[in-house]
Amino acid sequence: MYNNRKPGWINYLNLTTEFKEIVNKAWPEAACQWEEIENIAVYNQNKVLEAFKEEKVNEDDFRDSSGYGYFDTGREKLENVFSRVFQGNKALVRPHILSGTHALTVALFGLLRPGDKLLSLTGAPYDTLSNIIGADNNNHATSGKGTLTEWGIKYGELPVDNSGYPDPEKAAACFQEQVKVAFIQKSPGYSSHRCTLDIKQVKELIEVVRRCSPRTTVLVDNCYGEFVEKAEPAEAGADVVAGSLIKNPGGGLAPNGGYIVGESSCVDLIAARYSAPGLEESVGSMTDKRLYFMGLFQAPALVAAATKSAVWAASLFKEMGFRVDPDPRDKRGDLVQKIELDCPERVKYFIKEIQQNSPVDSFVVPEPSPMPGYRDPVIMGAGTFIQGASSELSCDAPVRPPYTAFLQGGLTLQHGLIAVTKAAEKLYFHTRGQQFPG
Ligand SMILES: *Cc1c(COP(=O)(O)O)cnc(C)c1O
């Protein structure tokens, strides 16, 4: 429906004539992907709406609780809604789960016991998870207190192939030794040599686990994956799925928190670790529940807007001659758009421009700095309402070759279009050593 037309909005952004040409050339390839993104959003919106209806969400559910938070029926309902949407039969959806990293930490420590083995089927996990494990991929202990290694938990990983994907055939060979938890990370994080798994690929891997080791628990890191496709990892057979509420499923409104959804036998173990054995999910007071409900309700639309922005960035940067992953025409499994900018200076420049086109802290110039849990210094452009929220438009990069910028999120499509296009124009002239004429 948008095919081949020129985008009318470019006239409102004060672009140079030279760059408008590039925008016009890049537009059709992006716009022809949008219809499918909208279809997926309708499917997911309907799924979320049905869950709200089935749980009979009402105004009382938004009331704050205090202290222990016993009998917080709104919190229970929020968790039931998540269970329905993500197709588990039990969920923890809590502000006390501090982040995606914490959600995965609680899940791993809840599921694993000394002597058990954890196996990553998607290569080295996200930077901050390496610290939880406390071992490198040769199973040599690394520094760090309170790690899984310190608790006597063994670790192994299946590296991804040259294609950037794990090979299901090779995965089968990893189950000679007993594996308690198989870990699958859908989105590649800051890895430049692995790709995003779509739900079909997640399913293929889980089928291998079921065939080779039926008693292994499958845990999926779903960060950035929620609502990008029609199905979620539990529908592909995952036992437990975890993620962050300041990414996709918080819909830009949840002020903090994480979620864990899955089989109740697994989530029970995790709930005992989340709070305390005997208390499990029954404690934990919660305020501002309206924001978590409303955020989840809006999440399919936010994810669609952010995905469209990501496709637009892919098209525009491709037109400018940069390598992008995914390609604008690729089917997507997460929100993240990788753009290879080839040098640290260009990464800093582009991220600064994204920051300057943000609603909050637009005057700030981001600099690379060491971040707790990350190997290399990270530069983050995130002029967000919620600190570090990457459901909001943000761009970040670890300062290491091949100097890839990771762009994601966006509260509105319109903001995504404006910020990406303006930042791209600045970079275009900067890269050619020209002063920006605007
Ligand atoms: C963001 C992310 C995490 C960690 O989430 P935080 O909330 O930043 O701790 C884990 N895995 C993946 C794939 C991610 O993108």
Number of continuous H segments (helices) and E segments (strands) in the chain: 10, 12
- Whole-number Å distance, alpha carbon 20 to ligand 1 midpoint, is 36
Report the C-alpha dihedral over residues 344, 346, 348, 354, rounded to 10 degrees: -150
- What is the edge-to-edge ordering of all strands in the sheet holding 217-221? 90-94, 258-262, 240-244, 217-221, 181-185, 117-120, 154-157
In the reported structure, the alpha carbon of residue 336 is separated from the centroid of ligand 1 by a whole-number distance in angstroms of: 12
Token digits for 175?
Answer: 């189950």
Which residue's C-alpha comes closest to atom 6 of ligand 1?
100
Cα gap 421→313, rounded to integer Å: 8
State the pLDDT at residue 137.
57
CA distance 255 to 272: 24
Q: Is the CB of 126 under 6 A from ligand 1?
A: yes
Q: What is the pLDDT of residue 376?
A: 86
| 221 Cβ inside 6 Å of ligand 1 | yes
Which residue's CA lies nearest to atom 3 of ligand 1? 100
* 103 in contact with ligand 1, CB cutoff 6 A: no
Q: Is the CB of 128 under 6 A from ligand 1?
A: yes
Determine the distance separating the centroid of ligand 1 and the alpha carbon of 284, expressed in angstroms.
Answer: 23
For residue 107, the CA-to-ligand 1 centroid distance in Å is 14
Peptide bond before residue 368 is cis, with ω within 30 degrees of 0: no
* Distance from the alpha carbon of residue 319 to the mean position of ligand 1, in angstroms: 30
Predicted pLDDT of residue 105: 98
Q: Are 292 and 57 in contact (CB under 8 A)?
A: no
- Contacts of residue 40, defined as CB under 8 A and 6 or more positions apart, other chains included, come to 227, 228, 229, 230, 304
Please state the atom number of ligand 1 nearest to the C-alpha of residue 187. Answer: 13
Ligand 1 within 6 A of 382 CB? no
Q: Is 189 in the pocket of ligand 1 (CB under 6 A)?
A: yes
Residue to mutate (ligand 1; options 94, 96, 97, 101; most atoms within 8 A of CB): 101
Q: Is the CB of 336 under 6 A from ligand 1?
A: no
User: pLDDT tens digit string along 359-376?
Assistant: 999 999 999 999 887 888
Task: Find out whether the beta carbon of 101 lies less than 6 Å from any atom of ligand 1.
Answer: yes
State the Cα–Cα distance between residues 328 and 145, nearest whole angstrom: 42
**Alpha carbon separation from 294 to 103, 247, 303, 320, 340 (Å, rounded):** 21, 14, 14, 38, 35
**2 pLDDT exceeds 60?**
no
pLDDT at 204: 97
Mean per-residue pLDDT for 308-321? 98
Ligand 1: atom nearest CA of 186 is 13
User: In 3D, which of 208, 225, 223 has the Cα closest to residue 158?
Assistant: 208
Q: Which pLDDT score, from 0 to 100, does residue 139 have?
A: 61
CB of 226 closer than 6 angstroms to any ligand 1 atom = no
pLDDT for residue 377 is more than 70: yes
Q: Is the CB of 187 under 6 A from ligand 1?
A: yes
Assign 144 a pLDDT band (cuts: 50, 70, 90). confident
Which of 126, 133, 129 shows the shortest CA–CA distance to 148? 133
Q: What is the average per-residue pLDDT within 315-327? A: 97
Atom of ligand 1 lying closest to residue 129 CA: 10
Residue with tokens 């406390």: 134
* pLDDT tens for each residue of 62-106: 999 999 999 999 999 999 999 999 999 999 999 999 999 999 999
pLDDT tens digit sequence for 263-302? 999 999 999 999 999 999 999 999 999 999 999 999 999 9
Please give the Cα distance from 322 to 365 (Å, whole number).
24
126 CA distance to ligand 1 centroid (A)? Answer: 7
Q: What is the pLDDT of residues 401-424, one digit of tens each?
A: 999 999 999 999 999 999 999 999
Cβ(202) – ligand 1 distance below 6 Å: no
59 pLDDT tier (thresholds 50, 70, 90): very high
What is the band of 438 on the pLDDT scale with cuts at 50, 70, 90? low
Does residue 99's CB lie within 6 angstroms of at least one atom of ligand 1? yes
| Mean pLDDT (whole number) for 15-36 | 96
For ligand 1, is residue 368 a contact (CB within 6 Å)? no
**CB of 80 sitting under 6 A from ligand 1:** no
**Alpha-carbon gap, residue 225 to 231, rounded angstroms:** 10
- Best residue among 133, 221, 406 to mutate for probing ligand 1, ranked by most atoms within 8 Å of CB: 221
> What's the CA gap between 228 and 224, in Å, rounded?
8
Pocket probe mutation, ligand 1, options 97, 126, 222, max atoms within 8 Å of Cβ: 126
Work out the burial of residue 116: count CB atoms within 10 Å of its CB; fewer than 13 is exposed, 13-18 middle, 19 or more buried.
middle
CB neighbour list of residue 225: distance below 8 Å, 6 or more residues apart: 186, 187, 196, 232, 233, 243, 248, 333, 334
DSSP for 386-417, written as a single string? STT-SSSSEEEEESSTT-EEEEE--S-HHHHH
Q: What percent of the chain is modeled with pLDDT above 90?
A: 90
Which residue has a Cα nearest atom 12 of ligand 1? 223
